[in-house]
Structure 1
Amino acid sequence: MINHQLFYNLLYSNINSVALISAQSNNITKDLAIHEA
């Protein structure tokens, strides 16, 4: 039970990290596009 909880916590935090990184990348891409325009 504890192992499953740790696994899900790790999985969930990884998903959150990926979502955060992709959101930041999208913002950077938008900023670059604005500067290029």
Structure 2
Amino acid sequence: DALYYVSSSEKIVESVSQSLQDKGIDAENIKHDILYGY
């Protein structure tokens, strides 16, 4: 399975992660890096 890496501010990471899950991507395949201070 593909892994999805999302790196941005917290709200964008949450939004993109939710969009991926809505499209059927398993949450375990979504990795994130929240950039605080942006």
Query: TM-score, normalising length from structure 1?
Result: 0.43
The one of the two structures with greater contact order (alpha-carbon pairs below 8 A, sep at least 6) is: 2
Between structures 1 and 2, the one with greater strand share = 2
* CA radius of gyration, larger in: 1
**TM-score in terms of structure 2 length:** 0.42
